[in-house]
Amino acid sequence: MTTQSATTTIPVSRPFFGPEEEALVAQVLRSGWVAQGPRVTELEKRFAEYVGAKHAIAVSSCATALHLVMTILGLHPGDEVICPSLSFIATANCIVHGGGTPVFVDVDPVTYNLSPERVEEAITPRTRAIMAVHQVGLPAAMNEILAIAARHNLPVIEDAAPAVGAEYFGRRIGAPHGLIACFSFDGRKILSSGEGGMITTGDDAIAGRLRKLRTQAMSMSDAARHSARQIVFEQYDEVGHNFRLTDIQAAVGIVQLSRLPELLTRRRYLAARYTEAFRSLGWLIPPTEPQGLVHNYQSYMPRLKKDSPISRDDLMQALLDRGISTRRGVMSIHREPPYRAVKWDRLLPESAALTDESIILPLFHSLTDQDQDFVIENIREIGSAPRS
Ligand SMILES: *Cc1c(COP(=O)(O)O)cnc(C)c1O
């Protein structure tokens, strides 16, 4: 057994922070303004510029971002939103929170993203929107999905939680492709502020409504109130939420955004090393990056072939025994208790197979080449041992 010199386990993911994040956070704490304020505004401006969007609206997570977006769709009971089952459960939960019903469609087994054909088949008179997910950082087939949406006059919402820095035919995700895109800055994402989210859109009215709704639909911003020279009283125009990001988190996000090119380069380098190693193995199918698309490798998720020398679960356990932490592939939401009422299984064979046959391997900025070689070597060894 190839053993690691260090006794610690190699985690599947680890955020990367330096003294710059610490310094800016300290500055915010000393400034006395820790709630949503100037740093949030700065992060929004920089994020909008980075992705090429007209508006960026910061919120407390991608889940709350998606929740707000579903709210402004004005869903009524029985209204349907098409989305993949192969995603994190937040993708579907936000539809329920918004008062609608998720309609799961299957994914393309090669890209792990929504199959445009399955999307078109799932459209009914009750469909109100299509939610595309750029799963594990690879853009979905937006041109095809947008064409279908246009034919049926439906908005396309992007769950871009894992897709910061990913590109679709020359434009970053979040630059208008769909109507609205939602990003995550949670602890496992490439750009992390602990928790956090960002919504981008090119639509002025939508941006304004989202800004209000994230702060209890208050008629004026804290900044406007703060700088007023005469007393002012705010009004609460509708039922809103507190989905705000703090300036403390925004400080972390600002520095992380400035690091993003470097973070993405390292990820793509490490992903290429895995892919190169697994090609020769023959039983672990590396993720693909179709022509014209740039994957950010938020997660590196290969799939085991049907005739692999070891099952996915046994591979995960054998790696854990050797100090290497992994995760199963992306979940299938339709298998979880809140979504089992409908018998989806017959409709979602590719999603279920991917959940069962894929694995997420360690990939993070500070993963050393040596530690990655240790992961690769162990996978090779485990796969060449006779099946017990
Ligand atoms: C991470 C993730 C989310 C949730 O993001 P949070 O910021 O943790 O709420 C939603 N959808 C997908 C596809 C994700 O990867």
First-to-last alpha carbon distance for the chain, in angstroms, is 16
Architecture of domain 19-257: 3-Layer(aba) Sandwich (3.40)
Nearest CA to ligand 1 atom 2: 161
Interval between CA 7 and ligand 1 midpoint (Å): 31
Q: Residue 43: which pLDDT band, with cuts at 50, 70 and 90?
A: very high
Assess whether the C-beta atom of 183 lies below 6 angstroms from ligand 1. no
What pLDDT does 345 receive? 86
Interval between CA 161 and ligand 1 midpoint (Å): 5
Mark whether 189 is an active-site residue.
yes
Q: Residue 1: which pLDDT band, with cuts at 50, 70 and 90?
A: low
Q: Where are the domains of the chain?
A: 19-257, 261-384
Q: Residue 185: which pLDDT band, with cuts at 50, 70 and 90?
A: very high
What pLDDT does 300 receive? 98
Nearest CA to ligand 1 atom 1: 161
- pLDDT over threshold 90, residue 6: no
- pLDDT over threshold 90, residue 222: no
Assess whether the C-beta atom of 63 lies below 6 angstroms from ligand 1. yes
- pLDDT over threshold 60, residue 66: yes
> Higher model confidence: residue 221 or residue 169?
169
Assess whether the C-beta atom of 162 lies below 6 angstroms from ligand 1. yes
Sign of CA dihedral 111, 114, 118, 119: negative
Q: Residue 246: which pLDDT band, with cuts at 50, 70 and 90?
A: very high
What pLDDT does 21 receive? 98
Residues in the chain: 388
What pLDDT does 386 receive? 62
Q: Residue 267: which pLDDT band, with cuts at 50, 70 and 90?
A: very high
Architecture of domain 261-384: Alpha-Beta Complex (3.90)
State what percent of residues in the chain have pLDDT above 70.
97
Domains 19-257 and 261-384 share a fold: no
Assess whether the C-beta atom of 161 lies below 6 angstroms from ligand 1. yes
Rounded to an integer, the average pLDDT of 249-264 is: 98
What pLDDT does 4 receive? 54
Interval between CA 13 and ligand 1 midpoint (Å): 15
Q: Residue 387: which pLDDT band, with cuts at 50, 70 and 90?
A: low
Assess whether the C-beta atom of 87 lies below 6 angstroms from ligand 1. yes
- pLDDT over threshold 70, residue 130: yes
- Catalytic option among 45, 189, 212, 343: 189
